[in-house]
Amino acid sequence: MIIVLHIIKHLGEVSEKGLTKLIYEMKEKGVDIGYPVVKIGKVVGSKELHQDILDLLYLDLIEKVPNKNKLRITYNGDEFLQKHGLPESEIKPILELVDQLKPTIEAIEAEVEMKRRRP
C-alpha cells in the first residue's frame, strides 16, 4: 500500500483505471508490488488494489480530485510518507519504471477525462 501511495504522489493525479494498468505493466516488466492483476480482454482489474484505494481514501491519505475521476495524495498522505515511506534507495527504481511507463497510461487518463466531460 505504501508503494501505491508513493506512485500516486509521484504522478500527481491518476485515475484508478490508469493506476491499475500501470501496476499491470510494471508486473509485465518484472516489478511485482504485490497486487494480483487480472486481464480479461482489454480490461485490467485488481480487487486488492481497489480495496487498498478505498482504504487510503477512508484514512484520508488520498482523495478524489473534485470534478475529476482521479486520485491525488492529501496533506495527511504526504506527512505519512515522510514518516513511514520507503527509503529513497528502494523507491527510486520503482518510480523510474513509473516514468518509463507513463506513456502507456496517457491514453487511459485521456479517456477518463473525456468520459467525465460527457453530458
pLDDT in tens, 54-64: 999 999 999 99
Supply 36's cell numbers.
Answer: 494480483
Element holding 71 (H helix, E strand): strand 71-73
- The model carries a pTM of 0.91
Residues 75 and 61: their CA atoms lie apart, in Å, by 7
pLDDT of residue 110 exceeding 90 = no
Separation between Cα atoms, residue 115 and residue 95, nearest integer Å: 28
Domains for the chain: give ranges and CATH numbers: 2-117 (1.10.10)
Residue 84 CB neighbour total at 10 angstroms: 9
pLDDT of 47 above 80: yes
pLDDT of residue 116: 65
- Please state, for a pLDDT cut of 90, what percent of the chain lies above it: 77
Q: What is the mean pLDDT of the chain?
A: 91
